[in-house]
Amino acid sequence: MRCGVWLLAAMGLLCSWLAASVRAGDDAELDWDPETTTVFIVGILEWERSDLYGSFPDCMPNRRDQQLADFFREAGVPDDRLVYLQDAEATKEQIKKELVELLDETDEGETVIIYFAGHGCRDDDSGETWFACYDAGDENDSGWAVKEIFDAVENHFSGDRALLLADCCHSGALYDEARERAPDSDVTYGVITSSYAHNTSTGNWTFTDSLLAGWRGEGAVDLNGDGAVDLSEMARYAELELAFVEGQKSMFYAAEEFPRSASLAEVDEEAAARVGERVEVEWKGKWYRAKSIDADGDQLLVHFNGFDSSTDEWVGPDRVRPYYPAQFGEGDRVEVSWDKDGKWYPARIERGWYGLHKVRYDGFDESSDEWVGPGKVRLRVE
């Protein structure tokens, strides 16, 4: 069994999506109507069995699950259509009860949102993935299974579309389950997750921050510059952020009928030139990944990955270069560092993207494939 930090946002698509097209700038017409949206949010950062599930005190201040709930309320989601369970409130019984009751109140053409924050776990033998409720026990009392989320949606949801978002270890299990169910389901699924099904995820809020940036209409997420943020842009922005900041692969799936170009937010202000650039910055002879947070002429104020704001600094062009991560080729024979023991294991490159590599370990099938970040893969010396 593998278990790890995660923040899940399993969300049935936010609303009934209107047929109108998106127009740029001040005339942007949004496809999301909060008043027809149902939202279910669960955030767990501490557990009854602290011996099994470690808490996340560093994530408590300004917790993003609370911010997400506040955002949807302020955006106009009706109070009787939004449920937020936090920590000790989020027992397995309460989660299942509240979700079913909420779904039972939905109508045709509506959408549901389910967000979960906490630990995600996976049994390597069975492939079963579950999310640790507040009162979760060991593998024999495994919490809230991914399959149960889909079962609840399909058995109690009267709407049309469900978007599942997960910022968690093994969150890509939602991606796999949605793809498997899509051909025979009456519900149209979309999925965005922070990690691949076989991978762990960091305990930071990077993924959820990306979602909030999208729904708040931050200019950096408007990748095509049309004045609105759509679902595919939010997913792509999250994918880039997770790869660059955390070294992990975000996953995105949308069924054929799912409105990828549906606009979620109007952009209030375009991103300033060069703000948000992903770069490398020289410091004492070494190059570090960083992101620009302000600009003044050719000077950039940068924030270094993995450091707090006390290390932010202004740097000139002589210390900044574009981020061009090294990529291995498909089929390359490599060695991969495993987080649990730090040892290097032989593998083969299946795919590569933006400094990440999907690998298949020698002697194992695809059920053990993983995405690995920069610094965790090297060419094998034969």
Task: Convert 81-132 into a string of H (helix), E (strand) and C (coil).
Answer: HEEEEEHHHCCHHHHHHHHHHHHHCCCCCCEEEEEEEEEEEECCCCCCEEEC
CATH number 3.30.230 given to 333-379: no
Residues 6+ apart with CB under 8 A from 262: 17, 31, 32, 230, 231
Q: How far apart are CA 275 and CA 302, in angstroms?
A: 9
Q: How far apart are CA 99 and CA 306, in angstroms?
A: 36
**Predicted local distance difference test score (pLDDT) of residue 84:** 98
**Predicted local distance difference test score (pLDDT) of residue 29:** 58
Q: How far apart are CA 60 and CA 223, in angstroms?
A: 31
- CATH code, 2-266: 3.40.50.1460
pLDDT along the chain (382 residues), means of 10: 48 41 44 89 94 92 95 95 97 96 95 87 90 85 89 96 86 95 92 91 93 94 94 96 95 90 87 88 96 94 94 97 94 93 95 97 95 93 80
* The one-letter amino acid at 279: V
**Predicted local distance difference test score (pLDDT) of residue 379:** 94
Q: What is the DSSP letter of 342?
A: -
Q: Where are the domains of the chain?
A: 2-266, 278-322, 333-379
**Predicted local distance difference test score (pLDDT) of residue 186:** 94
Tell me which architecture the domain covering 278-322 has in CATH.
Roll (2.30)
Picking from 345, 324, 343, the residue whose alpha carbon sits closest to that of residue 335 is: 345
Q: Do domains 2-266 and 278-322 have the same CATH topology?
A: no
| 225-271 tens-digit pLDDT | 999 999 999 999 999 999 999 999 999 999 988 888 888 999 977 77
Q: How far apart are CA 113 and CA 293, in angstroms?
A: 31
**Predicted local distance difference test score (pLDDT) of residue 49:** 94
Per the CB < 8 A criterion, the answer to whether 144 and 130 are in contact is yes
Q: How far apart are CA 264 and CA 217, in angstroms?
A: 8
**Predicted local distance difference test score (pLDDT) of residue 117:** 85
Q: How far apart are CA 192 and CA 380, in angstroms?
A: 33
